[in-house]
Amino acid sequence: MSQPGGLLDTVRTFETPEGVSLGIRVAGPLVRSLAWTIDLCVRFGLYVVLGTVIGLLGDAGMGLMLIAVFAIEWFYPVVFEVLRAGQTPGKRAMGIAVVHDNGTPVGLAASVIRNLLRFADFLPAAYAFGLLSMVIHEDFKRLGDLAAGTLVIYRDPPTAPSEAQATDALPLIEPLEVDEQRALVDFARRRPSWTDGRAEELADILEPLTGDRGATGTRRLLGHAAWLLGRR
Q: Is the pTM above the cut of 0.85?
A: no
Q: What is the Cα–Cα distance from 152 to 28, expressed in whole angstroms? A: 8
* H or E segment and range at residue 151: strand 150-154
Do residues 35 and 147 both lie within one domain? yes
- Per-residue pLDDT of 181-222, as tens digits, reads 877 888 888 787 777 887 888 888 878 777 778 888 888 888
Do residues 132 and 95 both lie within one domain? yes
Q: Per the structure, how many domains does the chain have?
A: 2
Residue 160's pLDDT band, with cuts at 50, 70 and 90, is very low
Give the domain range for residue 146.
29-154
Do residues 133 and 80 both lie within one domain? yes
Mean pLDDT on 13-40? 79
Burial of 46-69, coded b for 16+ CB within 10 Å and e otherwise, reads eeeebeeebeeeeeebeeebeebe
Do residues 167 and 197 both lie within one domain? yes
**pLDDT at 7 exceeding the cut of 60:** no
- Is residue 230 within 8 Å of 85, Cβ to Cβ? yes
Q: What is the Cα–Cα distance from 32 to 23, expressed in whole angstroms? A: 20
Residue 180 lies inside a defined structural domain of this protein? yes
Do residues 198 and 144 both lie within one domain? no
pLDDT on residue 205: 84
Do residues 181 and 131 both lie within one domain? no
Residue 15's pLDDT band, with cuts at 50, 70 and 90, is low
Do residues 170 and 69 both lie within one domain? no
- Is residue 186 within 8 Å of 134, Cβ to Cβ? no
